[in-house]
Amino acid sequence: MPKKANLYKQSLIKHLYFNKELSCADLSLLTSKSLPHTARALNQLVDEGMVYESGHASSTGGRRPQMYSVQPNMMYIVSVAMDQFISHIAILNLHNQYVKKADKLELDLANNPNALDQLARFLDEFITGSGIPKEQFAGIGIGMPGFVDFAKGINHTFLKTENGSIVSHIELVTGLPVLIDNDSSLIALAEWKLGAAKNSRNAMVINIGWGIGLGMVLNGSLFRGQNGFAGEFSHIPLFTNNKICNCGKTGCLETETSLFVIAEKAIQGLAEGRTSKLKNLTLDHVEDTFRAIMNAAVNGDKYAIELLSEAAYNIGRGVSILMHILNPQLIVLSGRGALAGKLWLAPIQQALNEHCIPKIAENIEIMISPLGYEAERLGAAALVMEHYDKILPHRKNPKMTYA
């Protein structure tokens, strides 16, 4: 089949992935192609077993249109969600269901010159161990912290390479197409395409994690900035606390608000005799510590709530600055920290009441992400499918067949 026809079919698969089910008219509108052209490609996809007829739309008074969905197991995506300490790897189908549950790789990015090679080899073993033929994978999507240049496939903060890029290295080891992006950008992509910010034209997605990241949807598209470095919300200089940030500066938002800082404060407070149900917290297992703090806060522990409230208020101060500049319609709180749910909302709203011009803040909506901890993993999968009809077909291994 001609290359253009294949690319158009890949475009249809992409739209069905993000929208779950669509009619022929919907797809024609989304792709700016004629109804006959779209219908012909859809029928081919149905005949090839890649798309199925999923029923009829709800009646609006006329003939109900036939709806189409992508076959979930026609193809798979390797999703990698990385932070500075731990990488979570999973295989998802095209309905974003787990085919191979997430595996955990303890990988210190800051102090490990072999981290990239270890990641690549772990991925290859994980994929091989799944028993799924490699030609059935659309690709590998990886979210990671740091200054990630999406276009060049490199990270200026972590996983540096002497030759080539992160992308080329992992592609060489695994034999699969690879895409990388900043973790907060991918969380924003997940929320925009699949979550709380779906169909929003102007939204800010706050990634509450070991730092405080930001992904921005502006005028209906994901905004990455000139080099992909937009959204370094953590490093707004908001305090005169003389605390050194990971970036080397002092007084950054991160120094008072990150989950790591909350864990440090919790341990210090307990050592000073603060009353709490929290026990035996340690930075040696910081992920377990933050989960314990979140669970304690949700269950009413006064000290845990105090820690989150202080961080949330300061996040709200930072958000108020962004609101004056960007005037979004929606703010989504996502990432690990979203586990604490609505406990974030009141302190952030208080900060907005105190620091934001009322006219700018009056129609803003603040939401807790329904995706939460899964946001980055879904964002990594969404990254692959977002570029399925663009970048990935040009990177494929000539020995492999792509749909």
Domain 3-70 has CATH 1.10.1370.40: no
Amino acid at 3: K
pLDDT at 245: 87
Amino acid at 276: S
Structural element, H or E, at residue 44: helix 35-47
User: Domain residues of the chain, as ranges?
Assistant: 3-70, 76-186+377-395, 196-370
Distances (CA, A) of 70 to 74, 222, 388, 389: 8, 24, 14, 15
* 397 pLDDT more than 50: no
Percent of the chain topping pLDDT 90: 70
How far is Cα 380 from Cα 13, in angstroms, rounded to an integer?
17
* Average pLDDT value for residue range 184-204: 92
Alpha carbons within 13 angstroms on the beta-carbon side of residue 229 total: 9
How far is Cα 291 from Cα 336, in angstroms, rounded to an integer?
9
Distances (CA, A) of 45 to 6, 40, 51, 52, 99: 10, 9, 5, 8, 23
Which CATH code, of 3.30.420.40, 2.170.120.12, 3.40.50.10470, 3.40.718.10, is assigned to 196-370? 3.30.420.40
pLDDT at 76: 96
Amino acid at 67: M
Band (47; pLDDT cuts 50, 70, 90): very high
* Average pLDDT value for residue range 30-55: 93
Instruction: Tell me the backbone φ, ψ of residue 161, rounded to 5 degrees.
Output: -125, 145
Q: What is the pLDDT of residues 340-386, one digit of tens each?
A: 899 999 999 999 999 999 999 888 999 999 888 889 999 999 999 99
CA dihedral 214, 217, 219, 220 (to 10 degrees): 170
- How high does pLDDT run on average in the chain? 90
Band (21; pLDDT cuts 50, 70, 90): very high
* Average pLDDT value for residue range 249-271: 93
pLDDT at 50: 93
* Average pLDDT value for residue range 222-250: 88
pLDDT at 339: 85
* Average pLDDT value for residue range 322-337: 92
The residue with greater pLDDT, 211 or 17, is: 17
pLDDT at 44: 94
pLDDT at 392: 62
pLDDT at 402: 40
Q: What is the pLDDT of residues 124-171, one digit of tens each?
A: 999 999 999 999 999 999 999 988 998 899 998 899 887 889 999 999
* 89 pLDDT more than 80: yes
Percent of the chain topping pLDDT 70: 95
* Average pLDDT value for residue range 242-270: 92
Residue pair 281/270 in contact by the 8 Å Cβ criterion: yes
* 59 pLDDT more than 90: no
Can you give the pTM of this predicted structure?
0.88
- Of 258, 211, 248, give the one whose Cα is nearest residue 231: 211
Is residue 176 packed enough to be buried (19+ CB in 10 Å), middle (13-18) or exposed (0-12)? Answer: buried
* Average pLDDT value for residue range 386-391: 83
Q: Do domains 76-186+377-395 and 196-370 have the same CATH topology?
A: yes
Which CATH superfamily does the domain covering 76-186+377-395 fall into? Answer: ATPase, nucleotide binding domain (3.30.420.40)
* 180 pLDDT more than 60: yes
> What is residue 114's DSSP assignment?
T
How far apart, in Å, do the first and last CA atoms of the chain sit?
11
Query: Could you tell me the sign of the dihedral formed by the alpha carbons of 264, 265, 271, 276, in that order?
Result: negative
pLDDT at 60: 62
